[in-house]
Amino acid sequence: MKRYITIDGGTTNTRIYLVENKNILKSIKLSLGAKDCTKDNSYFKKSIKESIENLLKEFNLSENDITAIIASGMITSESGLFAVKHTNAPAGLKELHNSMQKTLIEEISSIPFCFISGVIVKNEDFLSTDMMRGEEAEIFGLLTEETKNYAFVLPGSHSKIITLDSQNRIESCVTLLTGEMIFSLWNSTILKDSFSLDFEDFSAEYLEKGYDACLEFGINQAIFKTRILKNIFGAKSKECYSYFLGVIFADEIKAIKKTSKKGVVIGGKASLKLPMAYLIKAKTNLEVIALDDVQTSTATALGAIKIFELEK
C-alpha cells in the first residue's frame, strides 16, 4: 500500500493532500503561499508541519507509513520553500521525474521531500517564451487517452493554455493574468459597484456581448462600458458580471484559437470554467471537454504521484 503527502503550493494558497493508493483521503487548505515566504518562511514551515501532523493523526498513521512528501508549484520557486530550476520543454513524465530534487526538511518532517520542477518553454525572443510551476503536475493528472490530442486550458489567477507533443511532453505554454485581472479591475476601480464576483452562473447573452465589444473596441474601452451598462441602461448585476467576463476572456479565446489541436480540455473552478467553455463553443470550431470539479481538484496531487513513481 502506497501512501503519500502531496503539496500543491501556489502564490497565495497551499493545499496538502493525504493520498493512499491514488485515492485522496483528505486535503487541507492553507491561506499561505510563496508570497508569504519572501522574507521569512518559518511560519509557512510551521503551518505545513502542523497540517501533516493533523492528517497523520486523523488517519492513525505515522511518518513511517508515508513514502514521500511530493511538492509542486510556486513552493519550488526562488520565493518558495525550496528553489528548483525549471525543466526545459519538451518535458514529459520522464524529464520531470529525472529533474526532481530530493531533500529532508527536518523542521517540518522526517519524511523525505521530493520537489517537482516547473517547465520553461524557452525561445530566443522573450515574447515567445513562457513558463509554469504546478500546472505540469496538474496536466499529467488530467491526461487520458481521450484528451491526449487536446490543448489544456486551465483558467485561474494565472490562466494557462498548454499543449503536448506526440510523445505526451509539454511543448508549449501561454500564460494570461486572467484571474488577477478580474479581481484587480473589480476591486481597485469604479467597476466595483457594478456587479459582484459571487455568481456561480452567467448570462450567455451578455457574455457574448462583452467578448464582441472587446474585439471591436479593445479591452480598455470595452471594460469601461460595464459601468455604462449598469448606470445608463440599468443592467442587473449578473448581466454586468457576464459582460465583464466576456471582455476579459476575449484575449484568452484569441490565444486558444491558435491551437493546432482538435479541441480543448478545460479545468479550473466552475465560476471561470463554465463561461469559458461556453465562449469557446460559441466563438470557435474546437471541441470542448469541461472537466468536473472532482477531476480538477485532485489532478495536481495525482499528477505529482505519476511523476514521482516513474521508473528512470
Section 168-172 average pLDDT: 96
Contact between residue 264 and residue 287 where contact means Cβ atoms under 8 Å apart = yes
Percentage of residues in the chain having pLDDT higher than 90? 83
- Identify the band that residue 60 occupies on the pLDDT scale cut at 50, 70 and 90: very high
> Cα(206)–Cα(223) distance, rounded to whole angstroms?
13
Section 214-241 average pLDDT: 97
Average pLDDT, the chain: 94
- Identify the band that residue 253 occupies on the pLDDT scale cut at 50, 70 and 90: very high
First-last CA distance in the chain: 21
> Cα(155)–Cα(178) distance, rounded to whole angstroms?
7
Sign of the dihedral through C-alpha 270, 191, 213, 257: negative
Section 82-105 average pLDDT: 96
DSSP code, position 148: T
Percent helix / strand / coil, the chain, rounded to 5: 45, 20, 35
Query: Which region among 26-40, 155-169, 204-218 has the lowest average model confidence (pLDDT)?
Result: 26-40
Section 42-65 average pLDDT: 95
- Identify the band that residue 114 occupies on the pLDDT scale cut at 50, 70 and 90: very high
Q: What is the pLDDT of residue 312?
A: 42
Residue 154: which H helix or E strand, with range?
A: strand 151-154
pLDDT in tens, 272-303: 999 999 999 999 999 999 998 888 889 999 99
Section 190-212 average pLDDT: 95
Instruction: Please tell me the pTM assigned to this model.
Output: 0.92
Q: What is the DSSP string of 231-294?
A: HTT---HHHHHHHHHHHHHHHHHHHHHT--SSEEEE-S-HHHHHHHHHHHHHH-S-EEEE--HH
Sole residue written with cell 515566504: 37
Which of 147-151, 161-165, 199-203, 258-262 holds the top average pLDDT?
161-165
Contact between residue 141 and residue 120 where contact means Cβ atoms under 8 Å apart = no
**Cis previous bond, 90, omega within 30:** yes
Sole residue written with cell 528548483: 84
Q: What is the pLDDT of residue 240?
A: 98
> Cα(91)–Cα(66) distance, rounded to whole angstroms?
27
* pLDDT above 80: residue 89: yes
Section 166-184 average pLDDT: 95
* pLDDT above 90: residue 55: yes
Contact between residue 5 and residue 17 where contact means Cβ atoms under 8 Å apart = yes
Chain centroid to Cα 207, Å, comes to 23
Alpha helix segments (H runs only) across the chain: 42-58, 93-98, 135-142, 178-187, 204-217, 219-231, 237-257, 270-283, 293-309
Section 39-45 average pLDDT: 85
Q: What is the pLDDT of residue 311?
A: 55
